[in-house]
């Protein structure tokens, strides 16, 4: 099974930045809503559909939660517990954390999983290192 990892790096305000990467060396940035993050641990992800964006993605199967997806977004306020990838990251004019080119990063993520219906996601917090 293909393994992706999410290593959280920085929390500021409503957002958490991280690095999302797989075993083949594909790397991208990530952003999550700090108030709704997934607990650190290992999760099965299964192919699903992001209805609001109308495209295929993966659901992170989190106990006692539903519809936690990997999907395109630039800001933490656009996320309800989901994870958004980005090709780059920066801060907005008002100092909030953001990721950029999220749909482009999501496309690379999905291409890396072509033909796969499930994958593993390992999430770690900075203090776990």
User: What does the pLDDT look like over 79-124, one tens digit per residue?
Assistant: 999 999 999 999 999 999 999 999 999 999 999 999 999 999 999 9
In a domain, 129, yes or no: no
- Domain containing 48 equals 3-115
- Whether 22 is covered by a domain: the verdict is yes
What's the pLDDT band for 48 if we cut at 50, 70, 90? very high
CB-based contact 121:21 (threshold 8 Å): no
| pLDDT at site 14 | 96
127 within a domain of the structure (yes/no): no
- Structurally, how many domains does the chain consist of? 1
Query: What are the b/e assignments for 55-64, b being 16+ CB within 10 Å?
Result: eebbbbebee
């Amino acid at each position: 099974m293909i393994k992706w990892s999410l290593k959280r790096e920085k929390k500021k305000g409503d957002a958490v930045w991280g690095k999302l990467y797989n075993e083949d060396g594909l790397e991208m940035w990530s952003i999550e809503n700090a108030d709704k993050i997934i607990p650190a641990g290992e999760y099965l992800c299964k192919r699903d559909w992001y209805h609001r964006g109308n495209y295929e993605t993966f659901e992170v199967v989190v106990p006692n939660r539903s519809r936690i997806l990997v999907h395109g977004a630039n800001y933490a306020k656009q996320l309800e517990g989901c994870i958004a990838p980005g090709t780059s990251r920066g801060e907005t004019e008002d100092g909030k954390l953001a990721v950029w080119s999220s749909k482009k990063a999501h496309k690379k993520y999905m291409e890396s999983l072509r033909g796969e219906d499930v994958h593993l996601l390992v999430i770690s917090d900075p203090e776990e290192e």
